[in-house]
C-alpha cells in the first residue's frame, strides 16, 4: 500500500500541467489517435495549463499585495489565515486513504457511462483532491471511512451530471467542442441560478452585455489591456501606493488581461483533435453515443468576463470581511480564485451586468463557509502535520469551491447530533441544482432542434 501511495504521490507531485497531459496522451492513443498527434496535443495542453497558471500567479502576485496594503491601512485584524486552495489540497493528500479516491472516481465514471447516465469522461483526475477533502470532512464528523467514500461517490456523480449539463453552454461561450468542466466550483451555480432568473426579468439587465458589447459602448476603455490597466491602477490608489507603484500594478494587470485570451487559444488547439478522436472512437464502439471530456476550469480562461468579475469582486470581499457579521477570515490567498466568478459567468451566459451583481450577492457566502471550516481545517492540519501553524492560529480558505454544497454535504450527518441546518441547506442546494440542470439541458435540446431545422431548410 505504501508503494502504491508513493507512486500516486510521485505523479501528483508533477503538477496538473504534466499529470493531466499524460492522462490525455494515454487516453488519446487508446482511442486510436496517432501517437505523434497525441503527444503533440498533450504537450500543447501542458503548455496551455502552464501558461494559464503562470498568468494567474502573476495576477495574484500583483493584486494581493495591494489588497494587503488596503487592509493594513484600515487596522482590521481577523484571526483566521486564508491559506487558499493549496491548504485544502495539502490537508486532503495527508489523509491515509486518499489514493483510494482514484479507483473510486474511475469506477463510478465507467459505471455511469455503461448505464448511459453520463456522457462525460472525467479526465480532471488532478482535482480528485476535492472529493478527498469532502471525505475527510465526513470522517471528522462521523468517524466512518465507508460513509466518507459514499458521500464522495455522490459528489463524483453530481460532478458528472453537472459536466453533462454545462457542455453545450461551455461550447457556445468558448468555441471548444467536445469538452466540459467537472470541477466542483460549478456547483455554486445552483445557488446563483434563482437570483439570475430574477435579474433577467429586470429591464436593463435582461439584455446581452459581454465584453464585446462593452467595447461598442465605451470603445478603447473596454479593451483588455486598457481595462486591466485602469483596474490595476485603482487597486494601487486604494492601497495608497506611490505613483510608480500604481503604474506598475496597472501595467501588470494590463499584461495579464491581454495574455489570458492568447493562452486560452492553446486549449482549443490541444483539445479539438482529442475531442474528435474520442468522438470517433465512441461512435465506432457505441453506436450514436458521443462522449465529452471533463477537464479543469482553466479551459474557460480565455473568457475575459471571468477575469473582470474576479477583479470586481476583490474590493467587495475585502469590505465584507471588515463588516460582515460572523466573518473571521481575512481574504488574501483565495482572492484570485474563480470560485465565484466562474459559476456566475456560466449562469448568466457571460452577461457582465448580471455577473457583477451575482458576485456582490454571493461573496458573503464564501466568507461564512470559510469561517465555518476553520476549526475543522486547523484541527486536521495539526493532526496530520501537513501545515505548520503557530499556537492558537486558525487556517481556512476564503473561496472554497462550491461552498454551499461542500459545507452542507460534508456536515450532512450532523442531524444525528440534532443539528438539521446542514441537511436543510443541502436540500435547498439540491433543489437549485435540479432546476439549473433542467434549464441547461432544455437550452441544449432547443439549440440542437434549431440547428437541425436550419440544416434541413438549407438542403
Q: What's the pTM value of the predicted model, to 2 decimals?
A: 0.81
Of 121-135, 148-162, 198-212, 393-407, the one with minimum mean pLDDT is 198-212
User: Is 261 among the domain residues?
Assistant: no
Q: Does 121 score more than 80 pLDDT?
A: yes
Q: 3-state SS of 211-245?
A: HHHHHHHHHHHHCHHHHHHHHHHHHHHHCCCCHHH
Task: Give residue-wise pLDDT tens across range 224-273.
Answer: 677 778 878 887 887 888 899 989 988 988 888 788 777 767 877 887 78
The residue with greater pLDDT, 366 or 64, is: 366
Q: Is the Cβ–Cβ distance between 302 and 57 less than 8 Å?
A: no
3-state secondary structure of 342: helix
The neighbouring-strand residues paired with 82 are: 396
Question: What are the φ and ψ backbone dihedral angles of 295, each rounded to 5 degrees?
Answer: -130, 180
* Nearest-angstrom CA–CA distance, 105 and 41: 24
Query: Residue 205's pLDDT is what?
Result: 79
User: Is 238 among the domain residues?
Assistant: no
User: Is 248 among the domain residues?
Assistant: no
Q: 3-state SS of 3-64?
A: HHHHHHHHHHHCCHHHHHHHHHHHHHHHCCCCHHHHHHHHHHHHHHHHHHHHHHHHHHHHHH
* Nearest-angstrom CA–CA distance, 422 and 415: 8
Note down the domain range covering 130: 74-218+280-458
User: Is 130 among the domain residues?
Assistant: yes
The neighbouring-strand residues paired with 384 are: none
The mean predicted confidence, pLDDT, of the chain is: 83
- When divided into structural domains, the chain yields a total of 1
| Confidence band, pLDDT 50/70/90 cuts, at residue 15 | low
* Nearest-angstrom CA–CA distance, 101 and 105: 6
User: Is 8 among the domain residues?
Assistant: no
Q: Does 216 score more than 60 pLDDT?
A: no
* Nearest-angstrom CA–CA distance, 75 and 114: 58
Average pLDDT score over residue span 17-34: 80
Query: Residue 195's pLDDT is what?
Result: 96
Q: Is the Cβ–Cβ distance between 170 and 176 less than 8 Å?
A: yes
User: Is 11 among the domain residues?
Assistant: no
Amino acid at each position: 500500500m505504501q508503494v502504491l501511495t508513493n507512486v500516486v504521490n510521485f505523479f501528483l507531485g508533477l503538477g496538473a500541467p504534466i499529470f493531466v497531459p499524460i492522462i490525455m496522451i494515454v487516453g488519446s492513443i487508446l482511442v486510436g489517435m496517432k501517437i505523434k498527434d497525441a503527444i503533440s496535443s498533450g504537450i500543447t495542453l501542458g503548455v496551455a495549463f502552464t501558461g494559464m497558471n503562470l498568468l494567474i500567479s502573476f495576477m495574484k502576485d500583483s493584486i494581493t499585495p495591494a489588497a494587503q496594503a488596503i487592509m493594513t491601512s484600515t487596522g482590521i485584524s481577523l484571526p483566521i489565515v486564508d491559506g487558499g486552495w493549496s491548504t485544502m489540497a495539502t490537508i486532503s493528500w495527508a489523509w491515509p486513504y486518499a489514493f483510494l479516491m482514484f479507483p473510486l472516481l474511475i469506477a463510478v465514471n465507467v459505471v455511469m457511462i455503461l448505464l448511459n447516465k453520463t456522457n462525460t469522461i472525467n479526465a480532471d483526475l488532478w482535482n480528485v483532491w476535492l472529493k478527498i477533502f469532502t471525505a475527510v470532512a465526513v470522517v471528522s464528523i462521523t468517524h466512518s471511512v465507508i460513509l466518507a467514500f459514499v458521500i464522495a461517490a455522490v459528489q463524483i456523480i453530481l460532478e458528472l451530471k453537472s459536466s453533462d449539463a454545462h457542455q453545450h453552454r461551455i461550447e457556445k461561450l468558448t468555441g471548444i467542442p467536445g469538452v466540459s468542466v467537472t470541477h466542483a466550483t460549478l456547483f455554486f451555480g445552483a445557488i446563483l441560478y434563482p437570483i439570475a432568473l430574477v435579474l433577467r426579468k429586470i429591464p436593463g439587465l435582461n439584455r446581452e452585455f459581454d465584453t464585446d458589447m462593452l467595447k461598442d459602448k465605451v470603445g478603447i476603455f473596454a479593451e483588455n489591456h486598457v481595462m486591466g490597466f485602469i483596474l490595476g491602477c485603482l487597486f494601487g490608489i486604494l492601497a495608497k501606493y506611490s505613483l510608480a507603484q500604481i503604474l506598475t500594478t496597472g501595467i501588470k494587470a494590463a499584461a495579464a488581461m491581454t495574455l489570458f485570451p492568447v493562452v486560452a487559444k492553446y486549449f482549443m488547439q490541444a483539445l479539438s483533435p482529442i475531442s474528435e478522436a474520442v468522438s470517433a472512437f465512441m461512435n465506432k464502439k457505441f453506436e450514436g453515443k458521443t462522449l465529452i471530456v471533463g477537464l479543469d476550469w482553466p479551459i474557460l480562461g480565455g473568457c475575459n468576463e471571468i477575469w473582470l468579475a474576479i477583479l470586481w469582486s476583490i474590493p467587495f470581499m475585502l469590505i465584507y470581511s471588515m463588516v460582515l457579521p460572523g466573518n473571521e477570515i481575512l481574504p488574501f490567498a483565495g482572492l484570485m480564485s474563480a470560485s465565484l466568478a466562474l459559476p456566475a459567468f456560466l449562469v448568466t451566459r457571460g452577461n457582465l451586468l448580471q455577473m457583477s451583481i451575482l458576485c456582490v450577492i454571493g461573496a458573503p457566502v464564501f466568507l461564512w463557509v470559510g469561517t465555518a471550516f476553520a476549526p475543522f481545517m486547523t484541527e486536521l492540519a495539526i493532526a496530520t502535520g501537513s501545515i505548520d501553524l503557530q499556537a492558537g492560529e486558525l487556517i481556512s480558505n476564503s473561496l472554497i469551491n462550491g461552498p454551499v454544497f461542500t459545507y452542507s454535504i460534508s456536515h450532512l450527518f450532523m442531524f444525528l447530533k440534532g443539528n438539521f441546518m446542514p441537511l436543510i441547506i443541502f436540500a435547498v442546494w439540491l433543489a437549485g441544482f435540479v432546476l439549473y440542470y433542467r434549464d441547461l439541458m432544455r437550452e441544449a435540446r432547443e439549440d440542437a432542434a434549431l440547428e437541425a431545422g436550419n440544416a434541413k431548410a438549407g438542403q
